[in-house]
């Protein structure tokens, strides 16, 4: 017996932050939205420990979350706005500072735990009666059943059709595999070590980033005297850092950070994840669009990965809103691909160059860094250009 097919306007595969945000945006335009994910949602409680994975949301992302009603919930739960950013090179005078007072915005962004972000977005999704959540379901097969619809076959013999399919299902995207799109991956031979630390000194509503010979070390404010760290180091060095006792790790971390916030004491487990860059060879196919990590992955040194994915969702939603063409129009999808692919490739290559540039140990490279970074710090128009890209909005 062939199972029945449920018809939708848009089917979104992947209920991470990008997929959830896309569902909320498109639910304002379309009456039938399917959201598919096989990871059960975990409720968040105020008493929960700080999550190890956090995101540095820029102003554009905050505006998107405000538009769909999630930012208010996030602020009520747990978020830490930051007003400035201090970036420097270890054991040198090379540094650059960014401050929201140089812009028209009251902050540069906010640090939000991924678990808080997902909880807030799920709360908004649950308020939309036109979003049907196929939770704990996974995509098995995707095919075109006509020129006007795609068929998604899920586990447990669930079958749905949609005029447009969004693949927001992460780096190992099943949607990308179903449409046979290649992905060019660059392995950085680094791991990102993450944990939560208590700081002796106040973080001053500042995001801190130190470039070390091994890779960048970021301290991101979560609460008073509490920060999240992301330390990008070679794989063997990361394994060695994780094997240290808390006391030994605290000593190495505090020294690497050059005591900018006094003594640093780890207050969570330490975990790591591989660092890689990736670009899908194409972002679209017949009635299919890739967003977020399914389409692109960048180095975490500037914390822009999630912001780029949310910008994908916002740009696609805006194009669909103003278009007078049928949903799933190839012309509209081509516009999305041209705009987002060029932006994401530029950001990926720029971050790779910055990482390599700061790890060069030759004296000429150090001198060039000192001149270039310190000059940029003194030239406000040039610094504002970088800030505009980081914030994602006019400054």
DSSP H or E segment with residue 219: strand 216-223
Residues written for the chain: 395
The position carrying tokens 């500042």 is: 206
pLDDT at 220: 97
Nearest alpha-carbon partner for 14 in 36, 40, 41, 43: 36
pLDDT at 3: 66
Rounded CA-CA distance 175/166 in Å is: 8
Q: What is the DSSP letter of 153?
A: E
**Residue 321: exposure state from Cβ atoms within 10 A (0-12, 13-18, ≥19):** exposed
- The full DSSP string for 258-272 is TTTTS-EEE-S--EE
Radius of gyration of the chain (CA): 22
Report the helix count and the strand count for the chain, using DSSP H and E: 11, 20
The whole-chain average pLDDT of the chain stands at 94
Which residues make Cβ contacts (< 8 Å) with residue 302, sequence separation at least 6? 351, 354, 390
pLDDT at 265: 98
pTM for the full predicted model: 0.95
Rounded CA-CA distance 304/196 in Å is: 20
Rounded CA-CA distance 97/105 in Å is: 16
pLDDT at 41: 79
Q: What is the DSSP letter of 45?
A: -
The answer to whether the CB of 315 falls within 8 A of the CB of 339 is yes
Nearest alpha-carbon partner for 70 in 111, 129, 121: 121
How many CB atoms are closer than 10 A to CB 128? 18
Handedness of CA 40, 41, 45, 50 (dihedral sign): positive
Q: Which residues of the chain have pLDDT under 70?
A: 1-3
Give the max Cα distance, the chain: 72
Is residue 31 helix, strand or coil? coil
- Bridge partners (DSSP) of residue 127 are none
pLDDT digits (tens, 9 = 90+) for 250-309: 999 999 999 999 999 999 999 999 999 999 999 999 999 999 999 999 998 877 899 999
Handedness of CA 326, 122, 230, 84 (dihedral sign): positive
Domains of the chain: 5-356 (3.50.50.60)
Rounded to a whole number of angstroms, the distance between the first and last alpha carbons of the chain is 59
pLDDT at 358: 83
- HSE-CB at 97 with a 13 A cutoff on CA atoms is 9
């Amino acid at each position: 017996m062939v199972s029945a097919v449920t018809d939708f306007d848009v089917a979104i595969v992947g209920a991470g932050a990008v997929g959830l945000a896309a569902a909320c945006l498109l639910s304002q335009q379309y009456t039938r939205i399917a959201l598919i994910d096989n990871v059960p949602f975990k409720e968040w409680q105020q008493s929960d420990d700080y999550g190890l994975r956090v995101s540095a949301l820029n102003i554009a992302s905050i505006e998107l979350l405000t538009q769909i009603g999630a930012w208010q919930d996030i602020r009520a739960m747990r978020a830490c706005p930051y007003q400035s950013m201090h970036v420097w090179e270890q054991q040198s005078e090379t540094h650059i500072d960014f401050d929201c007072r140089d812009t028209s915005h009251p902050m540069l962004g906010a640090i939000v735990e991924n678990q808080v972000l997902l909880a807030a977005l799920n709360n908004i999704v649950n308020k939309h009666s036109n979003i049907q959540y196929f939770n704990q379901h996974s995509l098995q097969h995707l095919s075109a059943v006509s020129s006007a619809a795609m068929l998604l076959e899920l586990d447990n013999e669930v079958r749905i059709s949609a005029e447009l399919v969004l693949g927001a299902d992460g780096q190992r995207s099943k949607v990308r595999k179903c449409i046979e799109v290649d992905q060019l991956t660059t392995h950085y031979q680094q791991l990102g070590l993450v944990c939560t630390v208590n700081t002796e000194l106040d973080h001053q509503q500042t995001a801190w980033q130190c470039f070390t010979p091994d890779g960048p070390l970021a301290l991101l404010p979560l609460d008073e005297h509490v920060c999240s760290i992301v330390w990008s180091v070679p794989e063997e060095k990361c394994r060695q850092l994780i094997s240290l006792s808390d006391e030994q790790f605290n000593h190495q971390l505090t020294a690497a950070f050059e005591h900018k916030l006094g003594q640093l004491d780890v207050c969570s487990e330490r975990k790591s994840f591989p660092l890689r860059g990736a670009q899908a060879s194409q972002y679209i196919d017949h009635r299919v669009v890739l967003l977020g990590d399914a389409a692109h992955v960048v180095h975490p040194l500037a914390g822009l990965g999630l912001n780029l994915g949310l910008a994908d969702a916002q740009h696609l939603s805006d194009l669909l809103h103003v278009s007078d063409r049928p949903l799933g129009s190839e012309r509209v999808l081509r516009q999305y691909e041209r705009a987002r692919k060029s932006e994401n490739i530029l950001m990926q290559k720029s971050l790779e160059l910055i990482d390599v540039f700061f790890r060069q140990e030759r004296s000429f490279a150090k001198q060039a860094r000192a001149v270039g970074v310190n000059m940029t710090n003194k030239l406000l128009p040039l610094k504002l250009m970088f800030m505009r890209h980081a914030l994602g909005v006019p400054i």
